[in-house]
Structure 1
Amino acid sequence: MNTFDHFNVFGNGIPIKVTASMLERIINMKSNEQKIKVEITPKHIVLWGTTEVKKMMFKKNVPFRITIKPVHVDNRTISFELVEMKPIDRNFINHKIFNRPPFFEFENRMIKMNVNAWNIVRKIPVGTIKSYELVEGALKLKISL
């Protein structure tokens, strides 16, 4: 049985697997006030949790649920479209969650993920993202050779 491990080579590309827990670690990195969970389904990536919002002199933990989906690939960057944000859709919350250089950038309702920032991809010095697929629990990428 062939599992989609990090460096099994099929066809003319190297498959890479980015799991929900890998995304959680990056998004929660350097952030004391937010504990975000990630779920990857065959259609979307869903993030939920709470984030601290400061308004005037008050702080409040605001729950949120964000749904994104991959829409475009350029070299070693995947762009995700913000499909839905509940209960309120505020750019400052999205920016706070997804502003994680060099892994993520947030601009104009698009999230860009630089897969070259991941150690597992940096070990492959050449090639671009040839294909991607959302599956239960992971984002599968194939890096061209």
Structure 2
Amino acid sequence: MKKRLDELRNSLKDKGVTLAITSDLFLLALQKTMNKNNEIGDLTVSFDDGYLTIVGNKKVLFRLVKFYARLRPVDANGRVLTLKLEEAKPVKWNWLSKVILNRPPFMKFSKEVIKIDLNSIDKIRAVPIGNIIKFEIKDKILWVKVGL
């Protein structure tokens, strides 16, 4: 009986549903965390060459500062995707990065590590069970496999 259960577990180990998260879906989830007081404008999100890129403008002391953040996915735990801040302009200003990238409950920023709760995206939340077992950025899409 135990052998049969182990065989069943192993056969289901890699089974899951693969979902395509486009940059538009990601941007929509990000915009839901913002209010008009954030003064962030011209926000765009893209998935290229294995990276997530966020670009926009932030009003700081009566002038617009253009920002750019390039993030690399490194790990997944449950339905939370962990990314590392690889590059940011203006030059990894920690306070500015925190203001832009810390968007609880969807996205949390701490010391160049961003944790994104993918359950904030309707397409992921529609799958009632399972955790992320695989993820990759390919063909301008974030592909997420939610295991059974």
AA aligned to 2:104 is P
- Alignment CA distance shift 1:50-1:110 (3 Å): same
- Specify the code of the residue in structure 2 equivalent to 1:39: S
Residue 40 (structure 2) pairs with residue 34 (structure 1)? yes
**Equivalent pair of 1:26/1:100 in contact (CA under 8 Å):** no
* Count, aligned residues: 131
Q: Structure 1, residues 24-79: CA drift from partner, whole Å, max 9, x if none? A: 2233332432121111113211111211123xxxx221011111010111111110
| Alpha-carbon shift at residue 124 of structure 1 (Å) | 1.7
Report how far residue 111 of structure 1 moved: 0.7
CA distance in 2, matches of 1:62, 1:101: 22
Relative to structure 1, is the Cα distance of residues 26 and 119 closer, same or farther in structure 2, using a 3 angstrom cutoff?
closer
What is the correspondence of 1:71-90 to structure 2 with a 5 Å cutoff?
A: 71-90=74-93
Q: How much does 1:87 deviate?
A: 2.9
Aligned counterpart for 1:119 among listed residues 117, 122, 135? 122
Q: CA RMSD in A?
A: 1.6
Report the TM-score when normalising by structure 2: 0.80
Separation in 2, partners of 1:26, 1:94: 18
SS at match of 1:126: coil
Q: Considering only CA atoms, is the larger Rg found in Structure 1 or Structure 2?
A: 2
Percent identity over paired residues: 26
